């Protein structure tokens, strides 16, 4: 009888643990920092991982990562200024890096893993550079410090990459926000994800909800320091650099520079993936990130 009671208690505890892990609750809210309001979500418990999305996206960009990593870690996602449910910029100069720092302070996050995709890569890099004691590991997914050195980045490749951006801007000027959103889904960084069954629905939903603020306003964002070899060489944080095998040539050049000059870096290439790689190939993205975390004893 006593053994049966103990077994029953054990089974109840086990079921409770499994149920808790499978039904992670998410808390959310807005934080007022630096003259703006940022929307954030937190899921899970453990070592914090902060995810920064790219241009025209929002916190939903990381849905697959939230589901996967919140079983073991405290996952924080948020909408960058001008995106999602966060406030639009005004005429006052601002910095995505400062916004990240203030959000971390507000949430009382002393140390964390920081993951930046595309546009989110620059503030992720600069925050790790400015606060090395607060970033236990850095992940740059096709983003990071902007590099202008023409010995590292081919100007023609960069010009070709931004042709799509100019095209969408012109569509917006002539035909308005709805046509611009449609056009955005057809250019190189986004097109593959828009056609991929794994990512099509989500990427279209995020673009449909994007305000278009940056297409119709002069952005007062502060200029970031150039990603020189010297600057990158001073970053000592363990860094995972993720790129896709289908990515544009200029992205490959940027990624190569990051991997060459960031001392403690590791580069991985995801298969069948373009710029929106965490959406196009979430399983491999999650696996590579988890391997990196384990290699650096981040539990």
Q: What is the pLDDT of residues 168-191, one digit of tens each?
A: 999 999 999 999 999 999 999 999
Q: What pLDDT does 24 receive?
A: 74
Judged against a pLDDT cut of 60, whether residue 9 lies above it is answered with no
Could you tell me the pTM of the whole model? 0.92
25-295 CATH fold: Rossmann fold (3.40.50)
pLDDT in tens, 70-102: 999 999 999 999 999 999 999 999 999 999 999
d(CA 135, CA 249): 30
Angle between helices 177-184 and 200-209 (to 10 degrees): 150
Neighbours of 135 (CB within 10 A): 23
pLDDT of residue 210: 97
pLDDT tens string 216-252? 999 999 999 999 999 999 999 999 999 999 999 999 9
Whether residue 4 has pLDDT greater than 90: no
Which residue ranges make up each domain of the chain? 25-295
């Amino acid at each position: 009888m006593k053994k049966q009671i103990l077994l029953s208690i054990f089974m109840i505890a086990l079921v409770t643990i499994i149920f808790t892990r499978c039904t992670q609750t998410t808390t959310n809210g807005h934080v007022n920092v630096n003259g703006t309001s940022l929307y954030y979500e937190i899921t899970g418990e453990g070592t914090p991982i902060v995810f920064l999305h790219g241009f025209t996206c929002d916190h939903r960009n990381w849905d697959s990562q939230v589901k996967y990593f919140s079983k073991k870690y405290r996952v924080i996602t948020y909408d960058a200024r001008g995106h999602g449910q966060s406030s639009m910029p005004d005429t006052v100069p601002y910095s995505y890096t400062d916004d990240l720092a203030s959000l971390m302070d507000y949430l009382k996050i002393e140390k964390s893993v920081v993951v930046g995709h595309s546009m989110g890569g620059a503030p992720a890099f600069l925050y790790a550079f400015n606060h090395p004691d607060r970033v236990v590991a850095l992940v740059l997914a096709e983003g990071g410090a902007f590099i202008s050195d023409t010995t590292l980045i081919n100007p023609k490749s960069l010009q070709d990459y931004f042709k799509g951006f100019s095209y969408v801007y012109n569509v917006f000027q002539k035909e308005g926000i709805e046509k611009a959103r449609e056009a955005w889904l057809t250019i190189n960084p986004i097109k593959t994800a828009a056609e991929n069954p794994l990512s099509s629905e989500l990427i279209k939903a995020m673009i449909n909800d994007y305000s278009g603020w940056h297409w119709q306003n002069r952005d007062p964002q502060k200029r970031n320091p150039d990603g020189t070899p010297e600057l990158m060489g001073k970053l000592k944080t363990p860094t995972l650099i993720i790129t896709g095998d289908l990515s544009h040539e200029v992205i490959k050049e940027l990624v190569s520079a990051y991997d060459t000059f960031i001392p403690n870096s590791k580069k991985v290439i995801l298969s069948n993936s373009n710029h929106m790689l965490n959406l196009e190939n979430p399983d491999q993205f999650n696996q590579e990130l988890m391997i990196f975390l384990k290699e650096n004893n981040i539990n």
